[in-house]
Structure 1
Amino acid sequence: MSSQRRIADLSGIVRAHAPVSDRAPLGAEVVDRLLGGGLVRGALHEVRCEHVREIAAASGFLIGLIERLHASSGRVVWVADPATSLDAGTLFPQGLAQIGFDPARLVHVLPHDLATALWAADEAVKCRGLAAVVLQIRGNPARLDLTATRRLMLRAQENGGFACMLRQSAEAQASAAATRWHVRAESSAPPGTLSTPSAPRWRVTLEKNREGRTGEWSLAWNSECKVFEHAPETRSETCSAENSGPRLHAPAERPGGAAQMGQVVAFEAAS
């Protein structure tokens, strides 16, 4: 055997046994820097949204995290508390495909109650070879306390898997998660324009980070490269002024607009 062939064979062996990096960069440089190089593997994370109307945005962001961690391979077990579907419905396969995720990878588990959902998620995190385990819940149920989240974290650390709690209509609360992300939907096109929707876009707040530092950014998802990118800040006032056209004078004999009739709030958080 020639020396070059021997070197090539040895190089292949080294690559096959090389340790997988314990972090996966998201692609957005500032975010990756705060995370110490990327999102840590083998850990529990949390994504939440305050309002049920934003669960699609939060789910899309979470799918992006899964894609970055596992490079479009492996099964994703998605366990949904039945209360979540009453408020927000279920996952839409065509929508997942549009952002670059293969719906065939999804194993959607629909238990009959929250206790069974917690059990199913705990069992799934024990399995090796899965790309991710997602536990979708509504609000801040007492069953999912610090002890329960610590157990999920330990399971993920033991098996090197990615586990994530997806909370809809939820407030921030203490948990064992390595990171907590608060996700809000953002317009993919400047306000007041007639542009067609472009890349999915979110306003993301890193509320908890075991690396120490937190922050807030506008992020977009590149579905072709499957990477997060920093999105330019939305200048709603400028865009509105540039595209609104001439305005009518306010009437002199009556109010210029309808009085505010209340505030849009999320459904009551589960307990």
Structure 2
Amino acid sequence: MATSAVARDVVFALRRKIAKIEGTLAERLAPPSDGQSSAGQPVAGLLVRRNGLASARDFFLPTGVERLDEILGGGLPKAALTEIHGTETRNAGAAAGLTLCLVSHMLRERSRPQDLVLWVGTAEIFREAGFPHAPGLDRLFGLAPGQLLFAEAPKPADALWIAEEAARIDELAAVIVELRGNPRELDLTATRRLHRRAQDAGRPVFLLRHSAVPEPTAAPVRLVAAPAPAVLRRTVLGPLAGSIGPPAFAVEIGKSRTALPGSFILEWNPDARTLEPRRDAVPENRVAVVPPSRGRTHPQAAAGAVLAFRNAAEPAAGDQPPGEQHPAHRRARRAG
């Protein structure tokens, strides 16, 4: 009996370590006892931790969308690394907007809503996507301009180092790391360090990526965000024609602890600071983004036949190969 009890304790300790590395919240496993399997079971729907019992809200941040929280297993983990992917660099506003929605909702649930948020990014992504607009932060997300701090790093490795060190600061409620593509420095080891720092500090770290190919990371949740067309603004008398409603996001679950897929169209309510599923249909008679040209009475003619031209890099028969060419920027221009 003593040998089996020791074996159960060893297996349970190993399961806790594996669960903590994978970000599956080892606190949900109850210690094994006589007559109980080593896998552990939730106790009366509560989560077990060292200092007693706690509800699921202590570990998860519900998004407010019932179906999304159900697929995510309770919501987003509060102390973990969470990935948010933008499909393209030009859609950086949608991915950043979804991240700010989650951060704003999280600050509203905290007892200290005036905590600071650090946004770390490389010079490349800030040059391509720009910085968030200060008046919009206050009006849409309830974030005062002084609450959001920015750190611009020359390289992805520097941005990751800043994020790891900043996760230890108690005055920060969350850390956002914004990168582009699949840099070599952002490997599985780097994401494990970020995830472990977030767990130890008890605060979330958001990895915001643009134009990136999904790859293995230590983040337990990955959301893919893209812009969605807005509906008409709702009024007491009904939809207001020609208006633009709340921001909308097309969100797809790329990775979760439950391994369940899901796609949603979510709208941000800036007054309640909550995400809501779309209820209204998008109007078909939307206004054109670009007005028609004044000097043209008829639409552009359809394209004609497509011709196959010779590749410029392949010389035709009888042509002499070009000589060595030097780029113009390697030598100064001649005067006169």
Q: Give the counterpart of 1:49 among 86, 101, 114.
A: 86
Corresponding residue for residue 221 of structure 1? 268
Q: Is the 8 A contact 2:229 2:282 kept in 1?
A: no
Partner letter of residue 178 of structure 1?
A: P
Q: Structure 1 pair 59/224, CA: closer, same or farther in 2 (3 Å)?
A: same
1:75 match: 116
Tell me which residue corresponds to 1:124: 166
- Alpha-carbon deviation of 1:234? 4.6
Moved over 4 A (4+): 17-20, 233-236
Could you tell me which runs of 5 or more consecutive residues in structure 2 were left unpaired when the two chains were aligned.
1-51, 233-239, 289-298, 307-336
Measured at CA, do residues 112 and 215 of structure 1 come closer, stay the same or move farther in structure 2, by a change above 3 Å? same
**64, 73, 88: which one aligns with 1:27:** 64
Please give the secondary structure, in 2, of the residue aligned with 1:126. Answer: coil
Offset at residue 113 of structure 1 (A): 2.4
* Equivalent position of 1:251 in the other structure: none
In the TM superposition, 1:89-108 aligns within 5 A as: 89-102=130-143, 103-108=145-150
Output the amino acid matched with 2:260.
R
Q: Are 1:207 and 2:254 an aligned pair?
A: yes
The offset of 1:233, in angstroms, is: 6.7
Q: Which secondary structure does the structure 2 equivalent of 1:31 belong to?
A: helix
What is the CA-CA distance between 1:114 and the residue it aligns to?
Answer: 2.2
Q: CA deviation at 1:23?
A: 1.0
Would the aligned equivalents of 1:133 and 1:163 in 2 still touch at CA under 8 Å?
yes
Alignment identity in percent? 31
* One-letter amino acid of the counterpart of residue 52, structure 1: T
Higher relative contact order (CA 8 A, sep 6+): 1
Distance 1:201 1:122, change over 3 A: same
State the distance in 1 between where 2:278 and 2:264 align.
Answer: 8
Moved more, 125-134 or 176-185: 125-134
Give, in angstroms, the shift of residue 212 of structure 1.
Answer: 2.4
> How big is the alpha-carbon RMSD for the aligned residues of Structure 1 and Structure 2?
2.6
| Paired residue secondary structure (2:194) | helix
Give, in whole Å, the separation in 2 of the partners of 1:233 and 1:196: 14
1:83 and 1:18, CA in 2 relative to 1: closer, same or farther beyond 3 A? same
Q: Highest Rg: 1 or 2?
A: 2
- Count of matched residue positions in the alignment of Structure 1 and Structure 2: 230
* Matched residue type, 1:160: G
Deviations 1:146-193 (A, max 9, x none): 100011001111111100110112222211111111111012126xx9
Q: Find the aligned partners of 1:33 and 1:175 in 2 and give their Cα distance.
A: 22
Is the CA contact (8 Å cut-off) linking 1:76 and 1:130 kept in structure 2? yes
Q: Is the 8 A contact 1:82 1:114 kept in 2?
A: no
1:64-112 C-alpha deviation (Å, 9 max, x unpaired): 1112223143110110111102211222212222312312211111123
Show the counterpart of 1:173.
Answer: 215
Greater shift, 204-213 or 65-74, is seen at 65-74
Q: Secondary structure at the match of 1:110?
A: strand
Using the size of structure 2 for normalisation, the TM-score is: 0.63
Task: Specify the alignment match of 2:29 in structure 1.
Answer: none
Letter in 2 for 1:164: F
Worse overlay, 58-67 or 224-233:
224-233
Structure 1 gap segments, 5+ residues each: 1-16, 245-253, 262-271
Aligned to 1:225, the other structure's residue is in SS state: coil
Q: 1:32 to 1:73 in 2, by over 3 A?
A: farther
Counterpart amino acid of 1:201? A
Q: CA deviation at 1:115?
A: 2.1
The structural deviation recorded for 1:136 is 0.5
Q: Which amino acid aligns with 2:205?
A: A
Q: CA deviation at 1:39?
A: 1.2
Deviation at 1:214, TM superposition (A): 2.3
Deviations 1:195-232 (A, max 9, x none): 21111101000110013212100000000001000013
1:47-74 C-alpha deviation (Å, 9 max, x unpaired): 1112111111111100111122231431
Tell me the equivalent position of 2:182. 140
Cα displacement (A) at 1:131 = 1.2
* Counterpart residue number, 2:193: 151
